[in-house]
Chain A
Amino acid sequence: MVIGSNVPRIDAHDKATGRTKYTDDLCDQRALIAKIVHSTIAHGYVKSVDISEAEKIPGVIKILTCFDAPDYKFPTAGHPWSVDPSHQDVCDRNLLTSHVRYYGDDVAAVVAEDEVSAVQAVRAIKVEYEELPFVLDAQEAMKEGAPVIHDEHPDNVLKHTDIRRGNYEEAIKEPGLIKVEGWYDTPSVQHCHIENAICFAYQDNEKIVVVTSTQIPHIVRRVCGQALGIPWGNIRVIKPYIGGGFGDKQDVLYEPLCAWLSTQVGGRLVKLECTREETFCNCRVRHAIRSHIISWCRPDGTMVARKLECWSNQGAYASHGHAIAAKGMGAFPQLYPCPNVECDAWTVYTNRQVAGAMRSYGMAQAGFAVEAHSDDICKKLSLDPLEFRRKNLMQKGYVDAFSKNELYDDTFNQCLDKGAAWIDYERKYKEYQNQTGPVRKGIGFAVYWYNTAVWPIALETAGCRMVVNQDGSIQMQVGDTEIGQGADTAFAQMAAETLGLPLHMVHVISCQDTDVTPFGTGAYASRQTYVAGMAIRTCAEALKDRILKTAFRYTRMQPYLMDIKDGNIVRTTDGRVLMSMADLATHSLYDLENSEHLAMERTTQIKSNAYSFGCCFAEVEVDIPMCHVKLLNIINVHDCGRLINPALAKAQVEGGMSMGIGYALSEKMIYDKKTGRLLNGNLLDYKLSTFMDHPHLEAQFVENAEPTSAYGTKALGEPPVVPVAPAIRAAILNATGVALCELPMDPHLLFRRFSEEHLI
């Protein structure tokens, strides 16, 4: 069995030895360098751009301003395009803009022979603005008289959707109900992928070639075409190995601008690489979402009616827009089913930088709000948090009417049992109550809900091509991308399993080239093993069928009497090896009478989806006078279906936990209230958690194979981040009795809250 075994990553050796080529490694050193002039106001109009001094700087080739750029509005979200105009992503961006909508917006670009000249020119360009008032908060932006950020949305609301179940207003009239109400705030945070956003572009005959660090090459092609107003087929996008994306690169970033700049310098090679500061300020962030939850409960914890309102801070441009808040809101009535529910979500333009996709896609925000609220209910009603979850969580057999997703197993109890046992939860939970003294311990947990993939909200389609080499090994290409998560290795294991080949006979072509690679929308939604898995299985089964038909020619055995096992054609009736795959491939290709090139390509549309669930348990030590939380122990337990490669799955969970720890305890983007400028857009002032801030990260699994999945898998990439912050919040509550309702729970917040509660 190749599936389920801890084979080393197929790219491990090259990555460990530094041989792997990333975008910058592939760029010719003679490339021209592009640098962007970013606005120094948060909102207003560019009146003029004086480039006279900048043009004199030696090495400067071309300076282009917002007044030079073509006026094609384009979307940037890494979503499959919709042929229904009402479901298309919002087109609200230009390559360069004269209407500045956030501090750092792109108003001009310099192309120069080297970086120093380009940066000198950027500094020498003088931009004159007409300043307008700006707004940074989503709810403020919805108020009457707030600055209008896009004329098409005079109330700044990009989108509002709601969910209604039962009758909330009637239900809350039931006598004896206890009302629990809370406000929960999450900050903007950044992905902090190791490799900054980078691309280079050049013209090759009629085509513009863009090499870029992206999760979504086929989508980048479409958007570049839209942005430049040229046929999509005239764009060729190549995606090499990338140094992480976490959703930031599930957006089209500077590829269209770089492609256009190349066309403005005669098609010469132009490289556009974001600095770390630009990655912070000018790429994407996680939406800051404020949630307001009211639950009406009976004294035994039964929830009779619930209300959720949430305001999602979109920033200056639509990007992934309302999809994030909508996903979070969608979880609310499912995770804790309740007969009477009212939910409203608003996604609101503000003059902050643009929010887009980020690992967990709205669920980290909703997960914090919903699970913090669960603990607030338990506190108010004096209920045991574990019993409350066991009683109120979605039960086995639950089916969602819209997605048709089903909970097939007793997953929540299985995960909770495993996590509680490892960390010794029940004993410690009792022991840590009612502590005194400056340093106290606490323990807590939280659960999560996650939808794999995007069906039925959006299209799911995947392509796979397999070509048999002369030695019987295969080349495989899929449109779904390796972004560091180990997809290529999992894909190779799947193909080897279905084809009956040893792993070393499956060669995955990691690089996607939109002129060559079968169509796929890329890596997002934790859908790679689910969606690409179906394309791989469909293609592999068709190829195997063809191989066995070809084998008839040399073995004279009927195809239905044969199979491929461990790289050999075997007769199933007695297990005899008839010939090796190598011999078959060589003979079929070089056959003087019937030369046949064994290859297969299949596209698959996926019309199902799967729930993924799990939990996190955390134990902390809170030093009250020092306003400091030390994480002592932490475990995530996931049911992501069948594990293709348990070691890789564990690594994925560890990375997500690390991201969750930063989200919980230290990370936030800080904006200057006077100017709208991002104050801490660098890796010193932005407190990404480090190796030294983590205890051992324990990852465990409950393996309930997903019935709808080609290989039994479902989402794992994003979910690990979701339950960490609410679990740590619960542990701090257990330790100190203080309920924290915003993230991060950093020393600044602890100082404020401990002061309010008179603990210090």
Chain B
Amino acid sequence: MYDISALYEAKTVQEAVDLLTAHPDAIIIAGGSDVLIKIREGRLAGCKLVSIYGIDEMRGVKMEDDGTIRIGSLTSFSHIHADPVIKEHVPVLGEAVNMVGGPQIRAIGTIGGNTCNGVTSADSASTLFAYDAVLEITGPDGKRLVPISEFYTGPGRVALKTGELQTAVLIRKESYEGYHGCYIKYGMRNAMEIATTGCSVNVKLSDDKKTISDIRIGYGVAAPTPIRARSAEAKIKGLPVSPDTRALLGEAVLEDVTPRDSWRASKDFRLHLCSTMAMRAFTGAVRRAGGEIDD
């Protein structure tokens, strides 16, 4: 039994916007794998809910005419993992969301919920940062686009205003074409796990595969929100593919990350992981891009 005071079900995006405007204190529920837990724990006990789970127009992955990959915010992790467009163009995202929880959670959990609950540990987030994703937000004034790097406003907080919901995740062609990546999730076990730290690295190599033309590094649980390691990226861009570059990367990321001490893991351990994982993910990404680099 859940302590819910009201449940409003939207069938269209417009209905959802209307309901959220009419009930500004209501919480949006999609798959419910986060919201129901908070209700059960008492943190949201007695809340009002607007369910968007029945809005089918927000489901599915498609390639738009300009090459943008459009992922409806209600698309489940298991759908994303199996989707042919994802597999062909942004395989790392499919791999990342396949590490969420277990099969049941992946069948019910949505990419929109994963990003909108604002947690730093979301498995999809660091990879979406590494793909420079853009979020489509729909509200009373229509649609607006927000780069994912501007979406997170603090731990558990995102840039959604009253009456708004996230309707799609967009990855533009220039963000994925020619890029190859690797996501590493560090957990204390191999399933049913929340990331201790997550690191997603995308690289674009020169035609001869010898130089890092571009690199994007996304982290989860390395700061209060998911982040990009921008200073490290700037240092590595243009350098040769080599173990030295990788070692430099391992050092450089430490200036971007600000993990905290908690009973879940010490700050020192997380810093060690941030560095080690960046180097491992870099190696994986380079090899996937056709580059050669020793262990």
Give the docked Cα–Cα distance between A692 and B265 (Å). Answer: 22
The chain B residues found within 8 Å of chain A, CB to CB, are 1-3, 42, 45-46, 186, 188-194, 196, 263-266, 268-269, 272-273, 276-277, 280, 295
**Given contacts A690-B189, A690-B192, A116 and B1 within 8 Å (CB-CB):** yes
Indicate whether A672 reaches chain B with its CB closer than 8 angstroms. yes
Cβ–Cβ contact B263 & A684, under 8 A:
no
The chain A residues found within 8 Å of chain B, CB to CB, are 114-116, 119-120, 123, 438, 625-627, 666, 670, 672, 679-680, 683-685, 687-693, 746-748, 751, 760
Give the docked Cα–Cα distance between A123 and B42 (Å). Answer: 9
**Given contacts A672-B263, A747-B269, A751-B269, A692 and B190 within 8 Å (CB-CB):** yes
Set B3, B191, B263: member contacting A116, Cβ < 8 A: B3
Set B45, B189, B266: member contacting A748, Cβ < 8 A: B266
**Given contacts A116-B1, A626-B276, A747-B269, A679 and B189 within 8 Å (CB-CB):** no
Closest chain B CB from A717 CB (angstroms): 25
Cβ–Cβ contact B1 & A748, under 8 A:
no
Cβ–Cβ contact A684 & B194, under 8 A:
yes
Give the docked Cα–Cα distance between A670 and B188 (Å). Answer: 14
**In the assembled complex, which residues on chain A have CB atoms less than 8 Å from the CB atom of B263?**
670, 672, 679-680
Cβ–Cβ contact B269 & A692, under 8 A:
no
Cβ–Cβ contact A691 & B188, under 8 A:
no
Cβ–Cβ contact B191 & A115, under 8 A:
no
Q: List 21 A-B contacts (CB under 8 A).
A: A114-B1, A115-B1, A119-B45, A120-B46, A123-B42, A123-B45, A626-B276, A666-B189, A679-B263, A680-B263, A684-B194, A685-B264, A689-B189, A690-B191, A690-B192, A692-B189, A747-B269, A748-B265, A748-B266, A748-B269, A751-B272
**In the assembled complex, which residues on chain B have CB atoms less than 8 Å from the CB atom of A627?**
269, 272
**Given contacts A123-B45, A670-B263, A672-B263, A683 and B1 within 8 Å (CB-CB):** no
Cβ–Cβ contact A120 & B3, under 8 A:
yes
Closest chain A CB from B99 CB (angstroms): 11
Give the docked Cα–Cα distance between A751 and B276 (Å). Answer: 12
Cβ–Cβ contact A625 & B276, under 8 A:
yes
- Using CB atoms, name the residue of chain B closest to A679: B263
Given contacts A115-B1, A116-B2, A123-B45, list 8 more A-B pairs with CB under 8 A: A116-B1, A119-B3, A119-B45, A626-B280, A627-B269, A688-B189, A692-B190, A747-B188
**In the assembled complex, which residues on chain A have CB atoms less than 8 Å from the CB atom of B295?**
438
Cβ–Cβ contact B191 & A666, under 8 A:
no
**In the assembled complex, which residues on chain A have CB atoms less than 8 Å from the CB atom of B191?**
690-693
Give the docked Cα–Cα distance between A666 and B192 (Å). Answer: 13
- Using CB atoms, name the residue of chain A closest to B265: A748
**In the assembled complex, which residues on chain B have CB atoms less than 8 Å from the CB atom of A114?**
1
Cβ–Cβ contact B269 & A693, under 8 A:
no
**In the assembled complex, which residues on chain A have CB atoms less than 8 Å from the CB atom of B264?**
685
Give the docked Cα–Cα distance between A461 and B189 (Å). Answer: 43
Closest chain A CB from B275 CB (angstroms): 9
Give the docked Cα–Cα distance between A747 and B277 (Å). Answer: 14
Cβ–Cβ contact A683 & B192, under 8 A:
yes
- Using CB atoms, name the residue of chain A closest to B41: A277
Cβ–Cβ contact A666 & B190, under 8 A:
no
Give the docked Cα–Cα distance between A735 and B276 (Å). Answer: 20
Closest chain B CB from A84 CB (angstroms): 45
Cβ–Cβ contact B189 & A693, under 8 A:
yes
Give the docked Cα–Cα distance between A684 and B193 (Å). Answer: 7
A680, A691, A746, A747: which has the most chain B beta carbons within 10 Å?
A: A747
Closest chain A CB from B254 CB (angstroms): 15
Closest chain B CB from A602 CB (angstroms): 47
Give the docked Cα–Cα distance between A476 and B7 (Å). Answer: 52
Set A115, A116, A626: member contacting B186, Cβ < 8 A: A626
**In the assembled complex, which residues on chain A have CB atoms less than 8 Å from the CB atom of B186?**
626, 747
The 4 A-B residue pairs with the shortest CB-CB distance, nearest first, are A692-B190, A692-B191, A115-B1, A687-B188
Give the docked Cα–Cα distance between A746 and B194 (Å). Answer: 16
**In the assembled complex, which residues on chain B have CB atoms less than 8 Å from the CB atom of A693?**
189-191
Closest chain A CB from B196 CB (angstroms): 8
Closest chain A CB from B38 CB (angstroms): 13
Give the docked Cα–Cα distance between A605 and B153 (Å). Answer: 70
**In the assembled complex, which residues on chain B have CB atoms less than 8 Å from the CB atom of A685?**
264
**In the assembled complex, which residues on chain A have CB atoms less than 8 Å from the CB atom of B276?**
625-626
A116, A438, A688: which has the most chain B beta carbons within 10 Å?
A: A116
Set B42, B189, B266, B280: member contacting A119, Cβ < 8 A: B42
Closest chain A CB from B264 CB (angstroms): 7
Give the docked Cα–Cα distance between A354 and B190 (Å). Answer: 30
B2, B46, B189, B193: which has the most chain A beta carbons within 10 Å?
A: B189
- Using CB atoms, name the residue of chain A closest to B188: A687
**In the assembled complex, which residues on chain B have CB atoms less than 8 Å from the CB atom of A123?**
42, 45
**In the assembled complex, which residues on chain A have CB atoms less than 8 Å from the CB atom of B3?**
116, 119-120
**In the assembled complex, which residues on chain B have CB atoms less than 8 Å from the CB atom of A760?**
272
Give the docked Cα–Cα distance between A315 and B186 (Å). Answer: 33
**In the assembled complex, which residues on chain A have CB atoms less than 8 Å from the CB atom of B193?**
687
**In the assembled complex, which residues on chain B have CB atoms less than 8 Å from the CB atom of A689?**
189
**In the assembled complex, which residues on chain A have CB atoms less than 8 Å from the CB atom of B190?**
690, 692-693
**In the assembled complex, which residues on chain B have CB atoms less than 8 Å from the CB atom of A746?**
188
Give the docked Cα–Cα distance between A301 and B194 (Å). Answer: 46
Closest chain B CB from A149 CB (angstroms): 24
Closest chain B CB from A433 CB (angstroms): 22
Give the docked Cα–Cα distance between A753 and B131 (Å). Answer: 37
- Using CB atoms, name the residue of chain A closest to B1: A115
**In the assembled complex, which residues on chain B have CB atoms less than 8 Å from the CB atom of A690?**
189-192
**In the assembled complex, which residues on chain A have CB atoms less than 8 Å from the CB atom of B265?**
748
Give the docked Cα–Cα distance between A123 and B44 (Å). Answer: 13
- Using CB atoms, name the residue of chain B closest to A662: B189
Set B45, B189, B268, B269: member contacting A687, Cβ < 8 A: B189
**In the assembled complex, which residues on chain B have CB atoms less than 8 Å from the CB atom of A680?**
263
Closest chain B CB from A44 CB (angstroms): 23
**In the assembled complex, which residues on chain A have CB atoms less than 8 Å from the CB atom of B280?**
626
Cβ–Cβ contact A666 & B42, under 8 A:
no
Give the docked Cα–Cα distance between A680 and B186 (Å). Answer: 18
**In the assembled complex, which residues on chain A have CB atoms less than 8 Å from the CB atom of B272?**
627, 751, 760
Give the docked Cα–Cα distance between A746 and B193 (Å). Answer: 14
Give the docked Cα–Cα distance between A751 and B271 (Å). Answer: 11
**In the assembled complex, which residues on chain A have CB atoms less than 8 Å from the CB atom of B196?**
747
Closest chain A CB from B204 CB (angstroms): 26
**In the assembled complex, which residues on chain B have CB atoms less than 8 Å from the CB atom of A751?**
266, 268-269, 272
Cβ–Cβ contact B194 & A666, under 8 A:
no
Closest chain A CB from B214 CB (angstroms): 26
**In the assembled complex, which residues on chain B have CB atoms less than 8 Å from the CB atom of A688?**
189
**In the assembled complex, which residues on chain A have CB atoms less than 8 Å from the CB atom of B273?**
626
B45, B194, B269: which has the most chain A beta carbons within 10 Å?
A: B269
Give the docked Cα–Cα distance between A107 and B9 (Å). Answer: 40
**In the assembled complex, which residues on chain A have CB atoms less than 8 Å from the CB atom of B45?**
119-120, 123
Give the docked Cα–Cα distance between A683 and B194 (Å). Answer: 11
**In the assembled complex, which residues on chain B have CB atoms less than 8 Å from the CB atom of A625?**
276
B42, B266, B276: which has the most chain A beta carbons within 10 Å?
A: B276
**In the assembled complex, which residues on chain A have CB atoms less than 8 Å from the CB atom of B2?**
116
Give the docked Cα–Cα distance between A625 and B246 (Å). Answer: 15
Give the docked Cα–Cα distance between A485 and B184 (Å). Answer: 39
